Amino acid sequence: MESHVMGANENRTGRLLAWQWSLYRDGHRERRNLAIHAAPVPLFLAGTCALVHSPFVGTFPRFVLSGGFAQAWRRARSEPHRA
């Protein structure tokens, strides 16, 4: 990596994404660097999507969609409160 890329952290001006994009081409010229990113980047993206998706396929949504939540709600209303 060229020295101006390594020292770019001290000279950052403007917005973060614009700064990252301005350094992207110089930071991704070597085949070794590209190969290192070839597997982890798609895995990272898949993991991020799985984290976003997971609350919608977890236990609580199934409990709600199956009617279990409504049933528990009705049952709790009819039972006396226990302290």
- The pLDDT of residue 81 is 67
Q: What percent of the chain has pLDDT over 70?
A: 76
Proportion of the chain in helix, strand, coil states, percent, rounded to 5: 75, 0, 25
Residue 21 has pLDDT above 80, yes or no: yes
* 30-68 tens-digit pLDDT: 998 888 888 898 999 998 888 888 766 777 778 888 999
- The pLDDT of residue 20 is 87
The total number of residues shown for the chain amounts to 83
Is pTM, for the whole model, over 0.85? no
